[in-house]
Structure 1
């Protein structure tokens, strides 16, 4: 019996490795997506410079799972803002309005798991959106 793991290869990424997307004060590094995960999930790191807003409140059908890697990220989940220091875990179920920001004076990053996957094909449009709407300082919003 053939399984989808017969067609996928193991993935290893050293620190900092992956497919990089520069959005000014935000950078994303995709660790696994698409054929690497059989479109089941997407794993990426999102790094925000100090005092940087995110994409703004938005929804989509897939779940967004975040694990804070460094610094303190602030997440909007539903109608509540949550300060999440390093080691925090946050889930925005599919359809829930959510956003993320770095309101601190230090760089912050979160690992993002999007389920189901196939998120990375949207990145060219997301990069273009951020070029047209550069992230600002949360104090200005």
Structure 2
């Protein structure tokens, strides 16, 4: 892919030369994993990084999946319960979750409320993963 080309993630906003500020409320909202996740929100891609501000409704989440790029998830609101590899994790506001590349994982919002999270992935692959 050439620098400043099309977005890797269908529907994502691709940063253009000289474009430095993005109002996430106005960026196209996409599904975080159309065939395996209820996460939805804004996604912006640069040359080497992909960022998203996503929400998972209470009691919903992502089925087991993986992706060839590593992922960071910073929890802003709610409680995120996940399984990364074979390890259960729980993360609340202010927690940062790391998912190594190629690791099968699943997770979601508790019944108590939505989870709002900021996520970052390297741009070696799209935001979307592959359902396990």
- TM-score when scaled to structure 1? 0.67
Q: How many residues align?
A: 114
Deviations 1:88-139 (A, max 9, x none): 101111011112211232111111111125525x59xx9xx9xxxxxxxxxx
Moved over 3 A (4+): none
Show structure 1 runs of 5+ residues with no match: 130-141
Query: Residue 47 of structure 1: CA displacement?
Result: 0.7
Instruction: Please report how far the alpha carbon of residue 27 of structure 1 lies from its aligned counterpart in structure 2 after TM superposition.
Output: 4.3
1:69 — aligned with what? Answer: 76
Higher helix share: 1
Matches of 1:87 and 1:104, distance apart in 2:
19
Task: Provide the residue aligned with 1:113 in structure 2.
Answer: 120
What TM-score comes out, normalization by structure 2 length? Answer: 0.71
- Greater per-residue strand proportion: 2
Aligned match for 1:53, one of 58, 61, 75? 61
Q: 1:13 maps to what in 2?
A: 22
How much is the aligned-residue C-alpha RMSD, in angstroms?
2.8
